[in-house]
Amino acid sequence: MQLKGVLTSSFFLLFITACNNNSTVKNLPVTDTLAGNPQISELETKLSKEPQSDSLREGLVQQLVQNNQYDKALEQVELLLKKEPNSPAYLFMKADALEKKGDTSNAISYYQQAISAAGLFTEAQLRLASLYAETGNKMAVKLCDMLLKQPTALKMRSDILFVKAAYYSKIKDISKAIGIYDQLIREDYTYLEAYIEKGLIYYDLGKFAEAHKLFERSTNISNKFADGYFWMAKTEEKMNKPKEAIDNYKRSLALDQSITEAKDALKRLGVVK
């Protein structure tokens, strides 16, 4: 499943304005350099001069999380929570950092607390549903069905369907998973991850031709979709088409250098040393 690629980046800037109107998070640019990160350094300098500024601390948390410095982010969130222990925004912020750190059980707990504190918090409910789906907890479906009935969650309908399908895929209820992925694709044909996840079902079943068609469809919709080319290459290897696989591994890497498995595959196929 590739839930986090879809769900973890889209809500960070939404929750703070929805749930904490007393402060503002600035949408600061992200850099690729952890050491000496200028945005982080600037925020830390400003905070040393204005330690009571919640907006600066919120911005620092955002930067730390986006740069994978989760423990430092959690330290800053704790300072915010000391001032406002029942803030849905800060509880969500802590859950987000915990989720990205890989602490699923505690992330679930803090999403639940954020929802309880807010009363209605669709972003947190969807994030919670995604974690339930990843762990095969049937609460994922209950939450998704509830969200699908909420007018406030209409803009998230595609993500909700994706999470619901991912749950059924996780518990190996293949027919339900495929049915929901098909519904999602009908409603939102640009939802590229749905093609990948549906294709992975066929891939795991050894139905490589069917999987390849879905991966290829994703790249036809977006020729800059690195994951689509990567999975095309994986199925082409299974189908004994090394030349095509090499070409698509190269395409995936040209679009996303972080796909280390594509680099390893090219080494294995004798293309690079």
Tell me the per-residue pLDDT of 91-109, one tens digit each, with 9 for 90 and over: 999 999 999 999 999 999 9
pLDDT exceeds cutoff 70 at 127: yes
Tell me the per-residue pLDDT of 23-54, one tens digit each, with 9 for 90 and over: 333 333 333 434 568 889 999 999 899 989 99
- Residue 147 near residue 125 (C-beta atoms within 8 A): yes
Q: Tell me the CATH class for 1-187.
A: mainly alpha
Q: Where are the domains of the chain?
A: 1-187, 189-273
Whole-number percent of the chain with pLDDT over 90: 81
pLDDT exceeds cutoff 60 at 258: yes
- Do the first three CATH levels of 1-187 and 189-273 match, i.e. the same topology? yes
pLDDT of residue 98: 96
pLDDT of residue 272: 74
What average pLDDT does range 223-252 have in this prediction?
97
pLDDT of residue 36: 61
The pTM of the full predicted model, rounded to 2 decimals, is 0.82
Task: Report, at the CATH architecture level, how domain 189-273 is classified.
Answer: Alpha Horseshoe (1.25)
pLDDT exceeds cutoff 60 at 4: no
What average pLDDT does range 149-164 have in this prediction?
95
